[in-house]
Structure 1
Amino acid sequence: MQRSYWVEMPAGYDPATPYPVIIGLHWRDGSADDVRGWSGFYGLKNEYGNTAIFVAPQGLDAGWANTNDRDIRFMRSMISQLQQGACTDTQRVFSTGFSFGGMMSNAIGCQMGDVVRAIAPMAGSLWSGCAESQHRVAALFIHAQDDNVVPYSEGEEARNVFTARNQCSDSTAPVGINGCVEYQGCSADKPVVWCGTPTGGHWYPGFSAKETKTFFDRF
């Protein structure tokens, strides 16, 4: 099976500098071109400028059903191919996405902690699967309480998987200025942050790019 993805290299790319890798995953009926085009990798291109390599994979049937782990296998092959062809920081590979892209980011976080450091799903759930793995990732979740497509409770369910895996306590502390909270007592360098917004529907908030970059920059 042939799969495709876009790669955007930073202007002035230096082959001797290891760059972080940001994977941006599209929503249902969206495309890799949507992510890299009008959304600017959900605003992250503006935040990072020329300091990261951006990757936009194309899902099968315009989605990320991950049937029989086909999309996980694709992600592993894609990351490996990218790392062979560009100077990347192998300790700073990140995944984010909205809706179906958030679901796939969750699946990546569940199963690919050996190659991905942190995830930032937006309006996601566990509908792309969540396989068991001994590897853990840091995770930032963004979800609106009035989401009428992917219920808030589905986002909470995904969050709870990661707080349990990362051995976090139930107590939280405010982080940032957008109402996000960080779970306390998580495993070293595996924080979990929850940004539950009161409104916004099935979309990602304007602050998502700044919060995501701030979170990824911790690693």
Structure 2
Amino acid sequence: MSTAAATRLTVLATSAVLVALTASACAAGVTEGSSIKPAPQAAVAAASGGNTCAKPDVPAGLSTQHVMSDGMRRTVVVYYPHGHKPGKPMPMVIDLHGSGSTPLQQLAGSEIAATADKHGFVVVAPQAGIPFIAGKSHGFAWNVPGVPLMSGRPVPKGAPNDMQFMRDAIAAMNKALCVDTKRIYVTGFSGGARMASQVGCELSGQIAAVAPMSGLRMPGNCKLGRSESVLSFHGTSDGTNPYNGSKQIYWSYSVPVAAQRWAAADHCDKGVQKQVVNGVISTTYGNCDNGRQVVLYTVTGQRHMWPGTPDSMAKGYTVPKLDPNEIMWSFFESHPLDAATA
């Protein structure tokens, strides 16, 4: 994470800005919740597989929940949309924070609450297991299997198993929130995007589509159990995860190569490029297995920040006239689990 990005997210995480974030969605404060135990898969299917559901176990707006995983009480921040009437399973978007960040900072930085309220999906933001400092930001980093930390150091011995945590969090949230199990999606920023890429591979049988922002990877140990739809935005002025790759062990190959590797795994056609708006080029790999798609948005001049947000562009560039969150949700909505698209 760049110093500027870390500083901005730290500021956004203050109480005043959290009030502004939730006020835009008519939210109250953050409510503290009790621990939620993961449910057996059969119970999860029964809870969300029908046409009706019980009232969710969380309040509208922001709340802090806890999930037991590997004997540890792990933190999950939930944003439940305002105006949603309980009774019908709803989509879930898992939003993963970057290295040195936190769930609240990620929710503020991605500005996803308003999108959730508009379209009626719940946002789940888990907290990674490794304490980590990035510049002035003190937060957490993900234990991505086989990948060192952003600093280049190996994952500490005894670090929590974050992939198991993801499995447990999904199972627990499915039950607590009455989730539509065919519409579970994962996004994330930077280190959270690398983790989202890993989750999309390892849990391809549960995750309908992923949207890693400023950190798309194709895990080297990936063996897809089912083809996966992938959307990504990445800036050409990203100094932390350079668009064209770097010598850093956690990064190395370029973003276009990552998209090509996903397309190859999904057995897609050759990528087709088009200019979306001035400064933004999309590369779409279509005709993939089971109607999947892989789409990369290349944003000229974008720095290492969530796309479309203020100050996300390098000097001399303006924020493109498009809404990445709307594009992401439209992509998610058109790619449910095991359903082909045109």
**Given the alignment, which residue of 141, 148, 155 partners 2:239?**
148
Q: How does 1:1-219 map to 2 (within 5 A)?
A: 1-36=72-107, 38-39=108-109, 42-49=110-117, 51-61=120-130, 62-67=140-145, 70-126=161-217, 130-153=221-244, 154-174=254-274, 177=277, 178-206=280-308, 207-219=323-335
Tell me, yes or no, if the aligned pair for 2:214 and 2:235 is still in contact at 8 Å.
yes
- Do the aligned partners of 1:106 and 1:130 also contact (CA within 8 Å) in 2? no
Indicate how the Cα distance of structure 1 residues 175 and 71 shifts in structure 2: closer, same or farther if over 3 A, else same.
Answer: farther
Q: Deviations over 1:118-160 (max 9, x none)?
A: 1111111439765323222110011112211112133223212
- After TM superposition, give the deviation of residue 45 of structure 1 in Å: 2.0
Q: Distance in 2 between matches of 1:175 and 1:45?
A: 28
Q: Secondary structure at the match of 1:115?
A: coil
- Residue 173 of structure 1 deviates from its aligned partner by 4.7
CA distance in 2, matches of 1:144, 1:46: 23
Q: What is the Cα deviation at residue 161 of structure 1?
A: 2.2
Cα separation, 2, equivalents of 1:167 and 1:25:
27
Aligned pair count? 216
Q: TM-score, normalised by structure 1?
A: 0.89
Report if aligned partners of 2:230, 2:295 keep a CA contact under 8 Å in 1: yes
Cα distance in 2 for partners of 1:54, 1:87 equals 13
Greater Rg over alpha carbons, structure = 2
Letter of the 1:102 partner, please give it. Answer: A
How far off its partner does 1:210 sit?
A: 2.0
Q: 1:218 to 1:53 in 2, by over 3 A?
A: same
Q: Alpha-carbon deviations, 1:185-208, whole Å to 9, x = none?
A: 212321110101121121232132
* Cα pair 1:182 1:193 within 8 Å, conserved: yes
Give yes or no for contact 1:104–1:128 (8 Å, CA) kept in 2.
no
Shift of the 165–184 alpha-carbon distance from structure 1 to 2, 3 Å rule, reads: same
Contact 2:81 2:116 in 1 (8 A): no
Q: Could you tell me which amino acid in structure 1 is paired with residue 325 of structure 2?
A: A
Q: Residue 125 and residue 213 in structure 1: after superposition, are their counterparts in 2 closer, same or farther (change >3 A)?
A: closer
Question: What letter matches 2:212 in structure 1?
Answer: P
Residues of 2 paired with 1:211 and 1:13: CA distance?
Answer: 22
Deviation at 1:181, TM superposition (A): 2.6
* Conserved? CA contact 2:95–2:123, under 8 Å: yes
Whose relative contact order is higher, 1 or 2, with alpha carbons under 8 Å and at least 6 apart?
A: 1
Gaps of 5+ in 1: none
1:130–1:52 Cα change, 3 Å: farther
What is the TM-score when the length of structure 2 is the normalising length?
Answer: 0.59
**8 Å CA contact retained: 1:64, 1:128:** no
8 Å contact 2:190–2:215 — kept in the other structure?
Answer: yes
The answer (yes or no) to whether the contact 2:194–2:216 under 8 Å persists in 1 is yes
C-alpha displacement of 1:3: 1.7
CA contact (8 A) 1:94 1:119 kept: yes
The letter of the residue matching 1:165 is A
- Please give the root-mean-square deviation of Cα atoms over the aligned residues, in Å: 2.2
